Chains A and B, each alone.
Chain A
């Protein structure tokens, strides 16, 4: 479904990603794990087109999207939840959700199942996004990215700074949308247990390269942990 071929990416002047290639198969939940600063977020930003990729290709659904601007990539069916959520702080929860409909022209309704997944949202519909807690913002950000029913959902550290009970809810929600709607998921994490519990497949990243990949079921948690801390 999503394939990166020999991607180079820069953060300012320094090269963060070097010759990176990997594949996200359709219908799977794929975890991308590694320490701080190894290029995980930059990888996701390269997929979105937020950072430039001077060489290599990003292929989505068989189409080369490397040269497309961010908004066109989103319209092809890529939903993105950035690190830190990036809720529109002065807009209400309802308006934030409605912005999620922009990829399909701002028309239509927010799918009802999103309110079943995140019951907190209809309750806070009139509140400003900026007034929600971190966990609530995360749920809103995920729902917003799902409003237009993308083909793939990309999440950047969905558990960062969030209390354990909500982390469980988020994990469950990710699995449900994958099961119910067949939406492919690519998530970046530092929190290994979350990846082991919720993904089908995992990659370990180190210094802009993939150093390990396996089906999550077959992966040895201790070994992955060792790779991450080495």
Chain B
């Protein structure tokens, strides 16, 4: 029983990281029909930025305040990936709208460039981030241990999710974004600059992947391919959840994350990947549009 709860807990914490990367992918795909293969690299950059921030604190700050480096790393990672996302959208993606295959290839190329850049700057060996001391240890309830860093990740993702929800459903920008998602031409006819909406949305998605990178940094060593190991799951979560609905992405990520951890626990990590992929394939045979299908009178007509 304890083992089951522990596995479930690990599943949820993995799901939450997948969720952060999936949101960006889902919005980008829903809004611009662009499959961004370089999205995982934003996670990698976010993780490296956490490392960079830690180095800065080690060099320039007294030991007593070093632990707060992590709180500086989160906005820093967000900002860097947000800006890089904005540049990528402006100079590459925006020129490839409506050309899915081209954008797939171009972003794959960018993904390789970014990985190589990371190797050139930080070396081929993985680097490690020391979790702040207050995140060491955990709470033990019954026989189950809930580590602080995983709890912290879940909390951080919940906070990010809440902020994304606020932006999407409570702000004027969110209204513009949803309008562009649902009908680009008509949104322009409402006076909305859809190019600007695309750019900001893409940047927010990239920034969230950067924050996901911060959380990944707490869990293990960071190298240039760290993004790749999460991105496949994130793609599956988006496909499973259906495009254009935040809730779909949340549920898709939870299913993929938990299924991965559970199957991994009872088999091996390679078999687990195959099983999860199989589940997704079988599911999509039954519901090709994913869990949440956008349905309405005007779309049916």
Contacts and interface: CB of A to CB of B under 8 A. Distances in A.
Interface stretch (A20-28, A86-94, A191-199): A86-94
B141 interface: no
B192 interface: yes
Interface stretch (A57-65, A70-78, A116-124, A213-221): A70-78
B294 A88 contact: no
B178 A91 contact: yes
B298 A85 contact: yes
Interface residues of B, number: 22
Nearest to B244: A90
Contacts of A144: 190
Contact of A74 (B179, B182, B191): B191
B194 A71 contact: yes
A86 B183 CA distance: 8
A95 interface: yes
Interface in B274-301: 294, 296-299
Interface stretch (A3-11, A30-38, A100-108, A166-174): A100-108
Interface residues of A, number: 33
Contacts of B191: 71, 74-75, 102-104, 148
B292 to A, nearest CB: 11
Instruction: Output the residue of A74, A98, A130 with the most chain B CB within 10 A.
Output: A130
17 contacts: A50-B189, A69-B188, A70-B185, A70-B189, A84-B298, A86-B185, A87-B298, A88-B179, A99-B175, A99-B190, A100-B190, A102-B192, A103-B191, A106-B172, A106-B176, A130-B298, A131-B297
Identify the 8 closest CB pairs spanning chains A and B, nearest first.
Answer: A130-B296, A103-B191, A89-B296, A70-B188, A74-B191, A106-B172, A86-B186, A102-B191
Given A74-B188, A131-B297, 11 more contacts: A74-B189, A88-B183, A90-B296, A91-B178, A99-B179, A102-B176, A106-B172, A128-B296, A130-B296, A130-B297, A130-B299
